[in-house]
Structure 1
Amino acid sequence: MSDDPFFGLSGDSTWNACIGQQGDELHYVEGYLEAASELANAVIDKKMLAKRDTLVLPILYNARHAIELVLKYVGGQLFDCGVLAQRHPANHDIKGLWGHLVAADVADEAIRNHLKALERFIISLDRIDDDGQELRYHVSRDGETSLKGESLANIVVIRDNLKELSSVVDGLMHRTIGFVAERKSGTYSCRCSRADLREIAGMMPPLADWGTEAFTQAKNAVKERFSLSNTQFSKAIDAIKANREFYAMVGGETDLPYLLDDEVMLVVEQWRILHPDDAGKEPKVVQGSRFRSADLIANIKKRRECVEALSETVLCQEAADLEALFYLGRGDFYPERFEERAAGYLKSLGDGAELRARTARLLDKTNLLTCLERGARRAGRLSLAQRLGKPPAEQEPPHETNVSQAMRK
């Protein structure tokens, strides 16, 4: 064991904690807030009456420091992705940090709401400690007794409000992570984030009703909720119409680059041959001892036949779209990147042997149907998603296997 009293390691790694290069910025936020909650709970649950006066100080300080850290984290993330024009000065002024973010009027409803919910905690702690000193030292920088305007603090009240604070901080922290990730998709307007646009799409009537009173009512509701002008509303609608997934939410259809709906249904038809009992079911766990060589040989033969049956339909461009559709349904990327991902798959396909191998790997996937249905919906192919979601007996049969090249783009 090392002689270092705090950073030495023992032979038992059970209690090794990751810090430094193995740690994470958010561990600081979560750690200080969890420490405040754990201390408050310990004092109350263990009836540590003698420790009320000493532990209340680290409880409040840890809560304040967690707020400071989350505000600095959010500010840094928003600056790095170009939403904030400048950083707040590096200090311990939580009211200033909070005000800097509020003044930015971030184009995301959830972030604005989380900041609003944080306001009462900011006001309370800033009132007694505006620079992070008075909860740490008995005497302030100007020689005055710290917290001289306060006499009592109730740990039960603190404990109960720490629960709400934890919820607000957690919501702000994780929404910021999501917001920054969404910005990379390019889907947002000057006033609305990608998440806001999804909400707006869900509030709008079907396309067939646009231009009617139903549209006007929805428009007014959206403008009021998100504080949008007519121009800002129009830009939000333009962004929705340009997005495969959101346009589908109002009933719009968007074509895939090369893959036709009937071609997808032909793939599913061959997939059902390979997985006759798996459609809509969870994958089975099969013991290795139950495999027989004859069964494996028969399966390989059937698999080869299914791939061959698609050889005149699933060409390189169709295979790339199909692969992108599957992984979109699995949630691997945003629909906005569909063309880019399909182009990447196309580039990696290579010769005919690779095309057949990739087709076979897709047919092997027991979740192919589920992911294709989800992918079709997210890609804006509602009619295809509806066909894929029907039981086999109710599905519209595909056209001829060798779909005419004249039908292709």
Structure 2
Amino acid sequence: MGHQGDELHYLDGYIEAAWELADAVIQKNMLGRRDTLVLPILYNARHAVELLLKYVTNQLVTCGTLTQGHPANHDIRGHYDLLVAANIGDEKLREGLGLLEPFVASLTRIDEDGQELRYHLNREGDVSLKDEPLANIAVIRVSLRRLASIIDGLKHRTIDFVEERSGKAYTDRCSRRDLLAITAMLPPLAEWKTDAFTAAKEAIKKRFNLGSKHFAEALDVIKANREMKGRLGGESEPLSLTDAKAVCVIEEWRKLHPPRDPSEEPSVINGSDISVEDLMEGIAEQRAVLKALLAELTSDDIAELEALLSRSGWVLAGAIRCEGGAYQAQAGGGKRPP
């Protein structure tokens, strides 16, 4: 709460409260409380939907996907229609909004402005919900589980979508997630003049509702992106790492991992056989390697090597960390099998 709280705590809290109340009525057989608890159950669900729509809208405005938000009111249909009309360039967000629509329609029908579920009399002085005499808690409970899943999906996709925008790998019609999916549907670059590419092109345009111009824009970003291009068999020159530095890393790596004799079976070292002297020797070897590497490599070199070597690059990924802008070697490990 307060300064320690977060906007998402409100969103999570209201949908969780709706579910917990509905579940309690069923599980505890609280039949006498159905008439009173159904109102906060439905209101909490409606408010969760309202908070979700406002959260998604505000996040998309902040990252520049939307030019403006919706007026600050309780009109969930208006907030929803704004997002749908924006035709957001992300398949997952559009799908999530489509799944949310029946809930928006249902809640709007019984409470258009967020007043009917809160007060006995509405703003016109009429009895609230006068045309809604019955509510089935069991049905509401089932629907709430579905609604909670949809809210969770839209919430997390929005978080990821905004984070992806910092990488610049997107177009007006396709998010980074979409472009990765498109990359997976394309044949290798060497086959882009074949029938396989033509078939993939038509499938991609249909799935993502892309015209020829938007499809070409997606291809331009894919070809310029190192990860996506690499998945299609393309190669990219290192941005920072030179051949000499790469050779230096390999030579230092070999000091800790010398070549095995292929005729010999790998040896097994039991923990009980490792002495303190062995551990100290291993630490000293690693420190020497790290010192040599840190003298040669910049932070950009290290980042690029981590990407290239992946799990194999334990010397860099596990033993070097950034602290205050300077890289520090961290001793670790111990005696390793040959």
Same fold (TM over 0.5): yes
Amino acid at match of 2:81: G
TM-score by length of 1: 0.70
Q: Could you say what secondary structure the match of 1:138 adopts?
A: coil
How far apart are the structure 1 equivalents of 2:309 and 2:75?
A: 45
Q: Give 2:241's aligned residue.
A: 258
Which one of 29, 37, 62 corresponds to residue 44 of structure 2?
A: 62
Deviations 1:197-235 (A, max 9, x none): 111111111112111000001111110010001110010
Matching of residue 92 in structure 1 with residue 77 in structure 2: no
How far apart are the structure 1 equivalents of 2:310 and 2:151?
A: 30
- Tell me: CA distance 1:297–1:271, structure 2 relative to 1, closer, same or farther (3 Å): closer
How far apart are the structure 1 equivalents of 2:10 and 2:155?
A: 12
Which one of 56, 61, 64 corresponds to residue 74 of structure 1?
A: 56
How far apart are the structure 2 equivalents of 1:329 and 1:198?
A: 21
Shift of 1:129: 0.4
Q: Is there any run of 5+ residues in structure 2 with no aligned partner, and where?
A: 259-268, 312-321
Shift of 1:187: 1.1
- Tell me: CA distance 1:304–1:183, structure 2 relative to 1, closer, same or farther (3 Å): closer
How far apart are the structure 2 equivalents of 1:161 and 1:266?
A: 61
Which one of 87, 96, 100 corresponds to residue 118 of structure 1?
A: 100
Contact residue 259 and residue 318 of structure 1 kept, 8 A: no
How far apart are the structure 2 equivalents of 1:87 and 1:217?
A: 39
Amino acid at match of 2:282: N
Contact residue 283 and residue 332 of structure 2 kept, 8 A: no
Matching of residue 326 in structure 1 with residue 306 in structure 2: yes
Q: Could you say what secondary structure the match of 2:167 adopts?
A: coil
Amino acid at match of 1:151: P
How far apart are the structure 1 equivalents of 2:201 and 2:12?
A: 40
- Tell me: CA distance 1:233–1:162, structure 2 relative to 1, closer, same or farther (3 Å): same
Q: Could you say what secondary structure the match of 1:119 adopts?
A: helix
Shift of 1:184: 1.0
How far apart are the structure 2 equivalents of 1:80 and 1:297?
A: 52
RMSD over aligned Cα, in angstroms? 3.2
Shift of 1:60: 0.3
How far apart are the structure 2 equivalents of 1:93 and 1:179?
A: 25
Q: Give 1:295's aligned residue.
A: 278
Q: Could you say what secondary structure the match of 1:143 adopts?
A: coil
Q: Give 2:190's aligned residue.
A: 208
Q: Could you say what secondary structure the match of 1:184 adopts?
A: helix
Aligned positions of 1:362-373 closer than 5 A: none
Shift of 1:315: 6.0
Q: Give 1:270's aligned residue.
A: 255
Q: Is there any run of 5+ residues in structure 1 with no aligned partner, and where?
A: 1-18, 274-283, 332-344, 367-391, 393-409
Aligned positions of 1:9-408 closer than 5 A: 19-256=1-238, 257-260=240-243, 264-272=249-257, 292=276, 294-303=277-286, 306=289, 316-317=296-297, 320-326=300-306, 361=330
Amino acid at match of 1:325: L
Q: Could you say what secondary structure the match of 2:193 adopts?
A: coil
Contact residue 241 and residue 304 of structure 2 kept, 8 A: no
How far apart are the structure 1 equivalents of 2:70 and 2:18?
A: 26
Amino acid at match of 2:94: R
Q: Could you say what secondary structure the match of 2:119 adopts?
A: coil
Shift of 1:149: 1.2
Shift of 1:252: 1.0
Contact residue 185 and residue 204 of structure 2 kept, 8 A: yes
Amino acid at match of 1:322: I
Amino acid at match of 2:227: E
Identity of aligned residues (%): 50
Contact residue 256 and residue 286 of structure 2 kept, 8 A: no
Shift of 1:307: 5.5
